[in-house]
Structure 1
Amino acid sequence: MTTSQWQEINNQEDIENLMSLFGWFHDSCIKGLYMWTDHYVNKDLSMSISAKRDHRVRLLIQRQNTNPTAIELIFDELIQLYINPSPENYDSIIFGATFLHKDGLFYWADDNEWSPDKENKFAEVNWICSKKVKWRDANDWIGETLRYGPKEDKE
């Protein structure tokens, strides 16, 4: 289990520091993604819901470099999550990422030419927008083990 302290990202300078530390996400991949809310159904089948923006996403990224080799990000108060899996016979290597703070929102995309202002922002790029972000070193989460749930039987 990773034990690194969470680092809040508050502004573009914090983003640039992480981007530099993690090599601008070059030669990396999304290993896992998990989304959850504060909503749930009680034992009596009543529903507990939140009126707040309560969606969160955990994202585990691994890369072919060291210090760190893997990081975990949490996107809190989620605004948008767009996932577009790679088609068959294509890889999912990230050659560079976009990570920016604009108008009070944080944007992360697995393409360094992506912009939230692009007309075709829902094209072939995975991206996340949230009001808050934090990250931590996850070096001990390298490899094929799934961290956000058990592997399902593929047969």
Structure 2
Amino acid sequence: MFVRVYDKLNSRYYKSIVYGTINVGWFLQYIVLNPLKNCFELVEYLDKSIEPAQPLVETIQRDNDDFIVYENALLLKYKHYCKKNEKYMNIDKLCGYTDVCENFEFIADIIDNKSVLAEKYKIKLRQLSDKDKWDYIQTQEDANEFMKLFVGFHDSTLDKLVYVEEHGYTGVTAIFDNSGWYGVVELCFEGLLELNIRPAKENYDRYIYEATMLVENETVFWADGYMENEDPAYNGSYIKAMNLKWRKIV
């Protein structure tokens, strides 16, 4: 599972793979890795200080096939550890990677302190499962490099767009053809925030002559026209998402 986390204390965002979750619903908490501090953090799913409560953790990719679910009888070993070591033990459900959930000392530590240095425990640091299949746009430098490679979308066309909405996931896959300069690429926008597509009018061609790609606050904004800053009043096509990855297909 890949998420965007809002660090309320420092008013900034960061992205992380989820290493585990504790409890469910109103009491749900995420175990994530803060790359800005190189520490594991226990983050509340909801900011309950405002009404209505708002998510502090937003899902980008919901890939948790390797998660193990511990509840009922499977939690007895952990509860025995807590009782023996006088630790907090009121957990109804624990999900995550095996090396995380069965490291009782780590679980008790992060519940007590909310933050644990990454090097303190022998927990395997994960990579995105599809990182060898896609190039990720993570910084403005990544965006600039792609724009240079794809010639700023000059003379390209948007040939296909597929919108996907599932439980805990929204995404758009767009196929752009720029065969005259580079080739055909597939852009996958995940954790979709905004989508506005305006086809060419009857008396216009469908070619894109310039475009924009901006990375800010762990989001990516793409538009089929040039602009210095994100403009919500732009009357062309634009897509905004928490994550963007791409690959050349032709």
Q: Same fold (TM over 0.5)?
A: yes
1:136 paired residue number? 247
The C-alpha deviation readout for 1:37-70, integer Å capped at 9, x for no partner, is: 11xxxxxxxxxxx2x3x1100000001424x311
1:27 aligned counterpart, secondary structure: coil
Deviation string, structure 1 residues 90-149 (Cα, Å, up to 9, x no partner): 111100110010222100111123742x3622x1x100000001000011xxxxxxxxxx
The partner residue of 1:59 within 160, 174, 181 is: 174
For residues 16-35 of structure 1, what are the structure 2 equivalents within 5 Å?
A: 16-35=144-163
| Structure with larger RCO (C-alpha < 8 A, sep 6+) | 1
Secondary structure class of the residue paired with 2:200: coil
SS in structure 2 opposite 1:70?
A: strand
Please give the TM-score of this superposition, normalised by the length of structure 2.
Answer: 0.45
Gaps spanning 5+ residues in structure 1: where? 39-49, 140-155
SS at match of 1:96: coil
Q: Is the 8 A contact 2:138 2:218 kept in 1?
A: no
Following the alignment from structure 2 to structure 1, what is the Cα–Cα distance between the partners of residues 155 and 224?
A: 11
Instruction: Provide the identity percentage.
Output: 30
SS of the aligned residue for 1:85 comes to coil
Is residue 2:215 matched to residue 1:101? yes
Alignment CA distance shift 1:104-1:113 (3 Å) = same
Instruction: Give the Cα separation in 2 of the matches to 1:94 and 1:136.
Output: 19
Give the Cα–Cα distance (whole angstroms) in 2 for the partners of residues 81 and 119 of structure 1.
11
Distance 1:119 1:35 in 2: 21
Query: Normalized against structure 1, the TM-score is what?
Result: 0.71
1: CA distance between counterparts of 2:232 and 2:136? 30
Residue of 3, 9, 14 corresponding to 2:142: 14
1:16–1:119 CA distance, 2 compared to 1 (3 A):
closer
2:34 aligned residue: none
Alignment partners' CA distance in 1, 2:232 and 2:180? 34
Quote the Cα distance in structure 2 between the aligned partners of 1:36 and 1:21: 27
Distance between the aligned counterparts of 1:119 and 1:5, measured in 2?
32
- Structure 2: distance between partners of 1:7 and 1:119: 27
CA distance in 2, matches of 1:36, 1:134: 15
Equivalent of residue 85 in structure 1, options 189, 193, 199: 199
Q: For residues 225 and 179 of structure 2, what CA distance do their matches in structure 1 show?
A: 17
Q: What runs of 5+ residues in structure 2 fail to find an aligned partner? A: 1-131
Which structure has greater strand proportion?
2
Q: Aligned residues, how many?
A: 119
Q: Greater CA radius of gyration, 1 or 2?
A: 2
